[in-house]
Amino acid sequence: ETKSGQADHRVFLLPNKCSGKVRETTFGGSGLGYSVWEAGIALSIHLASNPSLVHNKVVMELGSGVGLVGVACGLLGAEEVVLTDFGAVDDGSNQAWFAEEVVGQEGFQKRGVEGANSVVEERWQPTALQSNLAYNIELNELGGTCARLRLDWHASLAPDFRAAREFPVVLGSDLIYYERDAEALVATVLAHLQANPGAEFLLMNRQGRPGLDTVLAALGDAGGTL
């Protein structure tokens, strides 16, 4: 990491001459997605050291936070990157696609607006998270490659849920903090990952986190190779 010249901005010098910049916010504005976490740095380094994992591929990032990993994917030559996270619905995020995801406006209102954000606090939705993602995409001049999407993992548990798109690569870092979110995370991964042998879910997560063993076991039961 090197100095950025701005107190709330950070610059990461990654392998293969890849340099990603992000602005951090506050916990009050963005919840757990306000800052760069160690696992996000580690996954960005891993991708930059192995660019073929994302180069010329369409990628979905879950739990993007400030977006360092998604930004790294864009800088490493991904064909398209969709950075996703939770957030308030009035912050300019792509509500139309999310409404399609949960199948119908009624489901969107129930799950998107009134549903619980169990990652932080029930019924609390970060107001600055999505807008900061948009800022960091533009900060790295990746508007033509990266897009952002408001996504509630718990919507994937609905019996009538179907993903609007599937991706050959789904990835994320520090995605699981609570056991109660494990089922929703697994459902989201399986719903959005293409059903072909070459599809990959890449996860970098601190060991010992509640729910991590549950997630890995469920993905294995679904036919994944860990």
Q: Is the pLDDT of residue 83 over 60?
A: yes
Q: Are 171 and 201 in contact (CB under 8 A)?
A: yes
Q: Radius of gyration of the chain from Cα atoms?
A: 16
The separation between CA 39 and the C-alpha centre of its own chain, rounded to angstroms, equals 13
Q: From CA 16, how far away is CA 79, in angstroms rounded? A: 18
Q: Is the pLDDT of residue 134 over 80?
A: yes
Its pTM stands at: 0.84
Q: Picking from 5-14, 81-90, 136-145, 151-160, which range would have the lowest pLDDT averaged per residue?
A: 81-90
* DSSP summary character for residue 181: G
